[in-house]
Structure 1
Amino acid sequence: MNFITPVELPAHLPCLRHTDHLLLLGSCFAANMGARFTEAKFSCDVNPYGVLYNPLSISAALREIVFGKVYGKEDLFFFRDCWHSPMHHGDFSSPLADETLKRINGRIAGAHEQIFRSACLLLTFGTSWVYEQKNTGRIVGNCHKLPEKEFTRRRLTIDEIVSDYVSLLSGLLARNSGLKVIFTVSPIRYVREGMHANQLSKSVLLLAVDRLQTAFPENVFYFPAYELVLDELRDYRFYAEDMVHPSEVAVQYVWERFSSACFSSETLQIIEESENIRKALAHKPFHPGSEEYKRFLGQIVLKIDRLNGKYPYLDFQKERELCHTRLKI
């Protein structure tokens, strides 16, 4: 008997390798998946603007990355004792404008350096609802708890999203014809909108991505994270305490389905060996200074050396430093 509604994965998703540079932007779900890419030793930049929810803020961030925008104090505003950027998550905010600008410009510079060498963009749309500043008409990435009266809240149309991304992707592909773009729609429900409004919002995103696939059949792909959570994991035990965000188990399940669709057997083997090293280092010894534990750490270093010898592009610097620090205890 089958106790789930299986979601069929697309047959021709890009095959991603550890030699590929990846750029992930979008909602909290993009951050969750990005953390797994990082743990799996992929070269990737995850949310250089922090979490972004709507398609037009994501595309605006990509354009700024492409042009290497340098933020100045005129791009910030001061509210509740901190300097904020309307394009960035609150993680970039600071009581000092110079500190906020340092955080913002550092991340943009890093992403700009890699954007045209990236093999794949993974973009996660969260909602088609946006907040436009009344005084500028600009769609913001984050309201930073400014009074709601300062914004006009509206839902994007399919045509708006498609038109914006056709222009954006045409420019990116002109510079990097081999670029692959994988879209996902976040399974996180925006309950503030109401359940029906949330479904309408998600449908706009799904239809927009479908049209983009038609416009760029060789470069644009869709991975059904939304459907996997809502159809295969149709149970509240797969949600966090707020009953809105997917649980760690659900995110891990989606990651495993993504891995099976986008990774070769060699890539999966690298991930497994890297995960074994990570788990070994997470082990808490009863006697950190013992010779037995030092031999254990030495074995981990040997495993890292062996894996790096075969795949020199894998970055194990943090793991090496941790081993050497513990060996000195």
Structure 2
Amino acid sequence: MDYDSKVLLLGSCFVENIGAKLNYFKFRTLQNPFGILFHPLAIEKLISRSINQEQFVEKDTFFLNGRWHCFDAHSILSDVSKEQLLQKLNTAISSTHQMLHQASHIVLTLGTSWAYRHIESDHFVANCHKVPQKRFLKELLSVTHIEESIEAIAALIKSVSPDAQIIFTVSPVRHLKDGFVENQRSKAHLLTAIHEVIHSDVSLSMVEGYFPSYEIMMDELRDYRFYEADMLHPNQTAIDYIWERFQEVWIAHGANDTMKAVEEIQRGMQHRPFDADSEQHQQFLYDLEKKKTALREQFPHMVF
């Protein structure tokens, strides 16, 4: 990736950590327009829907606990207004459709093999939205089912963007609400399916890479001091370490100087002066604006 790249990031919450780093350094990205997506079937469904520009309509929504929801999207899009929810969903369809045709890199982070099948519709959902558990069947997706979904995702992407590089990763976030053993089974199914696809002769030209964020967390950062207080999510130290490893593999060396310039500006913007009216601080702000202007002349998409 470099500053000419366009990056689409979809999937589990760890994709937001990588996405936040790319946003911080002012790469061109679109990150989880439908909110967090935990399992591959949810990602596959929304990629297909976006490519075909299949708009969401009233029957795709439902009302619960004072808000309107959609089973295919995260609750971050839910709204007290049905019309506003549909507008947000269809805006996400449009932006994802556009980025799928333009993206140079697509990062897909799978979080779990556990999925919930809505009994009434017989469809797997992306999010249960606190609908009573009795209305779903909880299923562990088989390795074969996940392989088929990954292959379908890759084929869909390549059908509209044949030159896009597809990068898979497994989220290191632990889903312990499923249980310790069940979490390990879930991650094992994801890992096995991804590598079966990557090393398959048929799909070798479709999926360009795998980034071992899960393995780095489990093997190199296996101490609890690298977790948040909930003992589930990687803390900032772990995120920074994994980002450094990601940068080494996937960020072009030619982008390093620009990244340093961006970081200098970002840190300057966080500076809090003792005297905001001092001549010294005014000169500092003037110099900071010059640096922003110089970068924007080279990369017009950058907004600070």
Q: What TM-score bracket applies, with the shorter chain setting the length?
A: over 0.9
2:110 is aligned to: 125
Pick aligned residue for 2:204 from 217, 236, 260: 217
Counterparts of 1:13-24 in structure 2, within 5 Å, are 16-24=1-9
* 1:256-283 Cα distance to aligned partner (Å, 9 max, x none): 1100111222212211110110010011
For residues 164-183 of structure 1, what are the structure 2 equivalents within 5 Å?
164-183=149-168
- Which of the residues 58, 62, 67 maps onto 1:77? 62
**Paired residues of 2:9 and 2:30 also in contact (CA < 8 A):** yes
- Work out whether 1:196 is the aligned partner of 2:181: yes
Q: CA deviation at 1:245?
A: 0.5
Q: Residue type of the partner of 1:105?
A: N
Quote the offset at 1:154 in angstroms: 0.6
Q: Secondary structure at the match of 2:2?
A: coil
**Aligned equivalent of 1:280:** 268
Root-mean-square deviation over aligned CA pairs = 1.3
Please give the secondary structure, in 1, of the residue aligned with 2:139.
strand
How far apart are residue 102 of structure 1 and its match? 1.8
How many residues are matched? 301
1:293 has 2:281 as partner: yes
Query: Residue 160 of structure 1: which of 121, 139, 145 is its match?
Result: 145
Q: 1:298-329, CA deviations, whole angstroms, 9 ceiling, x for partnerless residues?
A: 101111222233x334412xx2xxxxxxxxxx
> Does 2:231 match 1:246?
no
1:136 and 2:124 matched? no
Q: Matched residues in 2 for 1:286 and 1:153: separation?
A: 56
Distance in 1 between the 2:86 and 2:116 partners? 23
Residue 55 of structure 1 aligns with which residue?
A: 40
Deviation of the 1:196 alpha carbon: 1.2
Secondary structure at 2:7 match in 1: strand
Q: Is the 1:71–1:104 contact (alpha carbons within 8 Å) kept by the matching residues of 2? A: yes
Aligned partners of 1:36 and 1:272: how far apart in 2? 13
Q: Among residues 272, 280, 294, which one is paired with 1:306 in the alignment?
A: 294
CA contact (8 A) 1:178 1:219 kept: no
Contact 1:123 1:184 in 2 (8 A): yes
Select between 47-56 and 298-307 the one with higher mean Cα deviation: 298-307
In structure 1, stretches of 5+ residues that fail to align are 1-15, 320-329
| Equivalent residue number for residue 25 of structure 2 | 40
Once the two structures are TM-superposed, the CA of residue 38 in structure 1 deviates from its matched residue by: 0.7
Deviates more, 1:159-168 or 1:139-148: 159-168
Letter in 2 for 1:192: K
Tell me by how many angstroms 1:70 deviates: 1.5
Take 1:134 and 1:154, find their aligned partners in 2: how far apart are those partners? 12
State the identity as a percent: 33
Question: Secondary structure, in 3 states, of the residue corresponding to 1:153?
Answer: strand
Instruction: Please give the alpha-carbon distance, in whole angstroms, between the structure 1 residues aligned to 2:119 and 2:294.
Output: 58
Structure 1 residue 27 corresponds to structure 2 residue 12: yes
Give the superposition deviation at 1:74. 1.5
TM-score (norm 2): 0.95
Distance 2:96 2:174 in 1: 29
1:324 alignment counterpart: none
Mapping for residues 102-117 of structure 1, pairs under 5 Å: 102-117=87-102
Q: Does 1:86 align with 2:74?
A: no
Pair 1:235 & 2:223 matched: yes
2 CA distance for matches of 1:30 and 1:297?
34
Q: Where do 4+ consecutive residues of structure 1 move more than 3 Å?
A: none
| Structure 2 residues not aligned, in runs of 5+ | none
